[in-house]
Amino acid sequence: MTVHEYGLMEDVVGLAMEEARRAGGTAVSRILLDVGELSFASKESLGSAFLALSRGTILEGAEVVMADVAGRLRCGACGFQGSARDAGLEESEGFSPWLCPSCGSPLTAMEGGGLVLREVVVSMPDPPP
């Protein structure tokens, strides 16, 4: 597990716990998570981070379902739009500024730039008898 994935998952765990509390749940059985290609995050490391961070919380034991989301980049200067591959990005460049292959200006992620918590499946307390 890397510090990168641990930090990303800290945010997801915090949001999921907030959603579960808001819903009045006693436990979470599953979370659905979109993993953006441009987050350059390892699903395996995200899963390990979730196990560590959820221990002793209402998220402990929850299934984490992760879906891949393709990255789409855009250049505000020249209008270039494309995938990470179109822009010539490698995983090792995940933390570097993304530069347009056409004009060298900074690129902005339009899709697939991070993690998105899509759903939190919450178990509700039993009603009083």
Domain membership flag for residue 129 = no
Half-sphere exposure of 99 (CA within 13 A, CB side): 6
Domain membership flag for residue 128 = no
Confidence (pLDDT) at 77: 97
Residue 10: CATH number of its domain: 3.30.2320.80
Angle made by CA atoms 43, 64, 125, in degrees to the nearest 5 = 160
Domain membership flag for residue 112 = yes
Domain membership flag for residue 38 = yes
Q: Structurally, how many domains does the chain consist of?
A: 1
Domain membership flag for residue 56 = yes
How many C-beta atoms lie closer than 10 Å to residue 84's C-beta?
Answer: 22
Q: Tens digit of pLDDT for each residue in 85-118?
A: 898 887 655 556 889 999 999 999 999 988 999 9
Domain membership flag for residue 52 = yes
Confidence (pLDDT) at 125: 73
Helix, strand, coil shares of the chain, percent, nearest 5, are 30, 30, 40
| Cα(111)–Cα(72) distance, integer angstroms | 5
Domain membership flag for residue 16 = yes
Structure tokens at 72: 């789409």
Domain that holds residue 68: 3-123
The pTM assigned to this predicted structure is 0.81
Q: Tens digit of pLDDT for each residue in 39-74?
A: 889 999 999 999 999 999 999 999 999 999 999 999
Confidence (pLDDT) at 94: 56
